[in-house]
């Protein structure tokens, strides 16, 4: 088990980068840098970008980038609106090291409806899981077609249908998502705090040549248990070539 409280000498080598460290809940850039000493992972810090999220304007995006500049971290955003890349300044977006997205905000109950947070089941219902899954697949593929770097929580299912994972996430659907990630050069996240994606998905993605990233997805500044990421390296024989790290040097 590797946690932020362990010393570098006590942990096994862990290649790659934790690219899902939110600056929220007391987490700062300085604390994130200290986390690197504990896990051995390079790190990327981010804030959420979108309407109703911490970064809503170009001025806020610029302020975030300026606040991170000069620190030995990668700087990214987690995008929550589907028009983010046409709403924000191309120049500012070009200063980012990575862009992370997930599929956990979706229009419900149909494509013309207001997007809802799928992790809040009180906001919607799914009377026909199979019909919803067809819409959800389109949603996944749309996000993978955006200029993102990382798909977080791949194969996520909301609480209302989570028990149907094996039925809804068929091999054909998994393969379609993996191929879309390959076509768009998007890394697939293995998250420390999530059950998604399944081992079966990771094995399939590895066999198809996908690239992975790690993410702690913190809500606070407390230590995060990175055992799932350590286990993934060992279980799936992941090498540095299998893991996404932004190309830009850490210090510029």
77: nearest Cα among 93, 44, 99: 99
Q: Which residue has the higher pLDDT, 159 or 223?
A: 159
Tokens 């992370």 belong to 100
Q: DSSP E strands: which ranges in the chain?
A: 17-22, 42-49, 74-79, 98-101, 105-107, 115-117, 150-151, 187-191, 212-215
Structural domain contains residue 1? no
pTM score: 0.91
Q: Indicate the pLDDT class of residue 36, thresholds 50, 70 and 90.
A: confident
Least confident segment among 33-37, 51-55, 186-190: 33-37
Is 249 inside any structural domain? no
- Is residue 201 assigned to a domain? yes
Cα–Cα distance measured from residue 37 to residue 111, given in angstroms and rounded to the nearest whole number: 45
We report the CATH number of the domain holding residue 123 as 3.20.20.140
Number of domains within the chain: 1
User: Residue 95 belongs to what domain range?
Assistant: 8-242
Q: What is the pLDDT of residue 38?
A: 74
Of the ranges 12-26, 55-69, 128-142, which one carries the lowest mean pLDDT score?
12-26
- Tokens 């094995």 belong to 203
The tokens describing 82, both together, are 């589907």
252 falls within a domain: no
Q: What whole-number distance in Å separates Cα of residue 175 and Cα of residue 247?
A: 27
Write the CB contacts of 26 (distance below 8 Å, at least 6 apart in sequence). 220, 221
Q: To the nearest whole number, what is the mean pLDDT of the chain? A: 91
Confidence tier at 14 by pLDDT (50, 70, 90): low
Tally of CB atoms within 10 A around 192? 22
Is 3 within the bounds of a domain? no
Residue 223 has a pLDDT of 86
User: Residue 46: CB partners within 8 Å, gap ≥ 6?
Assistant: 19, 20, 21, 22, 23, 75, 76, 77, 78, 98, 100
Tell whether 165 is covered by a domain. Answer: yes
Residue 208 maps to a domain: yes
Domain membership of residue 2 (yes or no) is no
Residue 5 has pLDDT above 50, yes or no: no
pLDDT in tens, 49-80: 999 999 999 999 999 999 999 999 999 999 99
């Amino acid at each position: 088990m590797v946690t932020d409280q362990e010393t570098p000498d006590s942990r096994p080598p862990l290649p790659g980068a934790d690219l899902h460290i939110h600056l929220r809940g007391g987490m700062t850039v300085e604390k994130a840098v200290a986390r690197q000493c504990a896990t051995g992972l390079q790190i990327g810090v981010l804030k959420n970008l979108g309407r109703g999220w911490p970064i809503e304007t170009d001025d806020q995006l610029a302020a975030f980038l300026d606040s991170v500049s000069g620190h030995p971290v990668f700087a990214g955003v987690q995008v929550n609106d589907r028009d983010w890349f046409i709403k924000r300044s191309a120049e500012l977006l070009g200063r980012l090291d990575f862009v992370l997205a997930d599929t956990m905000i979706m229009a419900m109950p149909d494509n013309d409806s207001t997007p809802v947070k799928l992790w809040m089941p009180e906001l919607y219902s799914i009377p026909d899981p199979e019909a919803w899954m067809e819409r959800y697949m389109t949603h996944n593929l749309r996000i993978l077609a955006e200029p993102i770097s990382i798909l977080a929580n791949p194969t996520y299912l909301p609480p209302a249908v989570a028990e149907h994972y094996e039925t809804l996430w068929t091999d054909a659907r998994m393969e379609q998502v993996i191929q879309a990630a390959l076509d768009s050069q998007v890394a697939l996240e293995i998250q420390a705090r999530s059950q998604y994606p399944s081992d079966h998905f990771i094995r399939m993605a590895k066999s198809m040549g996908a690239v992975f990233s790690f993410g702690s997805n913190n809500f606070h500044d407390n230590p995060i248990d990175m055992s799932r990421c350590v286990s993934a390296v060992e279980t799936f024989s992941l090498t540095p070539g299998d893991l996404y790290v932004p190309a830009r040097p850490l210090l510029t």
